[in-house]
Structure 1
């Protein structure tokens, strides 16, 4: 596959966290990576991963798969981070990470950190879990759509985010500065049409209530 095709395709990572009812529509050219315990989720859905990554402490055994990248239990990166690095090294720039929310709070926060680092390197991504999808935007505009009343929250979790403009939401902002100390963007709502979240300088994390 050519590099430009990989940047258009999606790298799906299946992690060891909690899963809801959502499951991706995997297309030819997409890459599927099981990160440790995510292997059992893929098996349950009848999906064979292209690659299996991790130390396998969550899964409890090394799966019989022809493409395994095994790591020691004592390491600097999480299994999800290692899976993301594998996808990035193969030319993928759009990542959908399932099983990345819920469960241990420290792993959830680590995955949000990974998401911020991803968009700050020019990639795109989202974390998908039970009841919520999390995405992020860096120095740019994120366009979304949601039915009237659907909840989303917008957070600055690092350096101050400047020039924040929210359009098409119940509570708009125009050129505001958001900081990690003040939860200014919590519990906003879609108005039933397109919404735009713009940050001129900085990174914003966007948490969206999943549709039932």
Structure 2
């Protein structure tokens, strides 16, 4: 049985999907700093809260302490971001899937750090699926292998972007712009805004870390 963990940060509300759409039995909800309040506002029950909680008022923090079964509080002066500490906490539970919300929009430094962090964690935890979701996009990272994806009419654009280094041997089948054993340099815009032309498509690659972003206009 898959263990699914949902991690919710305190990103801008306009980028946050309706979290109740992702409610499912046995899913574990972790709030990151003020993200724990967003979980509660969406009518869900956080299992754990992680962070320095410098983004919420003392009164709200007391409420969080009353409502959340487990809380890990850190000093603001630390080497890791609250998001990194939350994902490290999630990984202690050996999950199959980690979905992250509230991590996009607002500050670009946080966004870039979160994206690069997912690539690093994927290298060390290849059997865990990592996905970052907002109202317009879903972002996943992959290690070398063969993968199948289905078409999503709402998020029709599919982009593939190398993380950390070049990607070697990228093959795309079932896409508007197919590739066969292609070398994709780091920083290349070659694989932006592709589209599936079949109900399912396949992609594979031999070396590197690959980020896939599915987007809507």
For normalisation by structure 2, the TM-score amounts to 0.87
* Separation in structure 1 between the aligned mates of residue 17 and residue 88 of structure 2, nearest angstrom: 27
Deviation per CA, 1:26-76: give whole Å up to 9, x if none: 333321100112112111111111100001122344322341100111211
Q: Retained in 1: the 8 A contact 2:9–2:32?
A: yes
Q: 2:43 aligns with which of 38, 46, 54?
A: 46
| Pair 1:146-2:142 in alignment | no
Report the alpha carbon displacement of residue 192 of structure 1 after superposing the two structures with TM. 4.0
Aligned to 1:193: 199
* Separation in structure 2 between the aligned mates of residue 203 and residue 94 of structure 1, nearest angstrom: 18
| Pair 1:174-2:185 in alignment | no
CA shift in 2, pair 1:210/1:86, >3 Å: farther
Q: Retained in 2: the 8 A contact 1:157–1:179?
A: no
Aligned to 2:136: 131
Report the alpha carbon displacement of residue 205 of structure 1 after superposing the two structures with TM. 0.6
CA shift in 2, pair 1:31/1:147, >3 Å: closer
Which runs of no fewer than 5 residues in structure 2 stay unpaired? none
SS in 2 for 1:17: coil
Question: Within 5 Å, which residues of 2 pair with 1:1-212?
Answer: 5=1, 8-18=2-12, 19-23=15-19, 24-61=21-58, 62=61, 63-64=64-65, 65-120=68-123, 121-122=125-126, 123-147=128-152, 150-210=156-216
Identify which range, 187-196 or 131-140, moves more after superposition: 187-196
Q: How many residues align?
A: 205
SS in 2 for 1:185: coil
SS in 1 for 2:118: helix
CA shift in 2, pair 1:208/1:22, >3 Å: farther
Q: Retained in 1: the 8 A contact 2:163–2:211?
A: yes
SS in 1 for 2:180: strand
* Separation in structure 2 between the aligned mates of residue 58 and residue 142 of structure 1, nearest angstrom: 39
Which runs of no fewer than 5 residues in structure 1 stay unpaired? none
User: RMSD in angstroms over aligned alpha carbons?
Assistant: 1.9
Identify which range, 152-161 or 12-21, moves more after superposition: 12-21
* Separation in structure 1 between the aligned mates of residue 83 and residue 214 of structure 2, nearest angstrom: 21
Q: Retained in 2: the 8 A contact 1:153–1:187?
A: yes
